[in-house]
Chains A and B, each alone.
Chain A
Amino acid sequence: MAAAKDKDREKTLLYVPGEGWLHRLNPLTRLTGLGLVAVAAFALPPAATIVIALVATLMGTVAGAGAVFLRRLTLTLGPLALALFVVHGMLMDHPNRFGFLGLDLSHDGLMYMVKILGRIAALLSGSLVFVTTTHPSALLKALDSHGFPPGVSYLIASPLLLLEPFTQRARAIREAQMARGLDLEGSFFARIRAFPALLLPLVTLALADIDHRAQVLDGRGFRARPRRTVLDAPKDSPRQRLARRVMLGLAPLLIVGAFFWH
């Protein structure tokens, strides 16, 4: 039961344990790489974004997360690609129309679809490479050990950790209110009317929790010192530090370059 809960958390996080070179990189290096991909997805022309997406997909599949990566990418990108194809390739009033397999398609619409899809694919595949190869705790330790304010780490960790207890509480409130006669299985309007009875206790308890957790954090010395001591911080190297500086230097160049390319 408890082990199953641990596995549920791992599924929520999307992280896939591994020992490959991507996993061994410092999380900040991967995070910087993701930042560069995000900038490139908007700055570079469509052909380049497709190349980025393909490279990220290859990296994610071979070097890191394998099946989980591909499944998530397909589940997210597949429906989106289909929707963009229908909307921009067929339905929207784009010029240069032609017939193919009985479909009335627009060349300009399809080009627009490729442009949008390329950006999204680059962003999504880059993000998936990051989340499937980076455990949040490793990211927190990397941020802390590099002198980022502890509040930044907390903003990343707490939503991931507290989501499950919050969901459990929502479920408990739902069951308690139903036991008191609240109609949650009736018509749409009956459910709308019942909504405040679920939301108000959830929000009230969440606010009380915030107060309590703030006391817990104060009691444990959170932000009492500007720097935390980090145990088992992810390894870093001069090469990775150099790579991060290069990527950080490339980002503004890409932004400036985008004004010329577009």
Chain B
Amino acid sequence: MSTLTDPPKEQFRLSMLLYDTRYRSGTIQVIAMFGFMLLAAWLINNTLSNLAALGKPIDFGFFSEPASYDINQRLLEYTSRDTHLRAALMGLLNTLVVAVLGCITATVLGVIIGVLRLSSNWLVARLMTIYVEMFRNVPVLLWIVFVMAILIETLPAPSAFRGESPEATMSLMDSVAVTNRGVYIPEPLFSRSLGDIHLLGQSSLRFDVSLDLIAILVVLGLSLWAAHRVTLRANRIQEATGDRPKTWHVRTAIIVGPMLVLLIALGFHLGYPALKGFNFQGGTHLRNSLIALWLALSLYTAAFIAEIVRAGIMAISKGQTEAASALGLRSNRIMRLVILPQALRVIIPPLISNYLNLTKNSSLAIAVGYMDITGTLGGITMNQTGRELECVLLLMLVYLAISLSISAVMNWYNEAVKLKER
């Protein structure tokens, strides 16, 4: 005869913290936490005592002091009497400008090169391979200073444009001047401008919003929406009757017409650069530093993007194309409906991480004197105020914020295009 009894309750012993897998992970985590806190406390303690010895307690007050240095390439209005905070803001905007410009050109170039590398043309495919290997295997910093040297050494000086028979002439019907001090392009001007709104008063973060720009954006948005409605209506008619009405002329008229009316109403014209004295006046001046950085980053990143695009296209099996054409799709629809959606799933994640790399590489602007956030906050501001800790930490935080927002976009995209299985 047997009786059922509970298994004997095991007494908790101290050694179980080490030998029992139920408790051991807790022990390890407590030790890891303890070690981490100890390290952090040691570093902070060292830092505080060192700063105290140097007489520089952590203080962000320097941000409201006048920066007293100039930033020659900038988006908003800024003078050397403005504060360090405003200088850092200019730097941040400059970083974003070169990053966005670079991402756009790198993508365009990279896609072209990636497709050409797969071309059936032997010579073109080889040339593109040489391009990719040449740019991938030489440091980007070297490319940046190299492009800067090309701009400075080989382009004509502004003085070469002067005289009866000048050595250099402006390109694109006298509208663009390419000189060794930078490129001058026409700027958009409005003779009957609606004016600006001044936001945030006199603070360091003040900025002006042009009402003209807002009007243009609003009209553009409305006409795109209207054009979209026309397409939807055409789809409905096609589904109901089987005939698709021609819509392209209506859509073009809807998009172009209101915009033309608005531009004429605002008195839109271009301000051309013209040689006055020793330099060009008028127009928008893109300095060498911006162009060198932009060009070098685009060319360098394009080599990586080309490889990604090539891998993405090669990853789609030929059967997909054949199946799609067996269904009776035309070749541009095969590309749009079958190949691209699948290739993009392979291409986009590494593409975005290359955008991230480009943004981080834009910090090399300091080598050519382009005043991005590294050049302002991590460069002149840091050297002038001697606040290394505050400046470098803030600089890191700014880049971290940019990187994390880019990776948030990437995660969102990955979730959206993930294969939905079962």
A and B co-occur in one complex: no
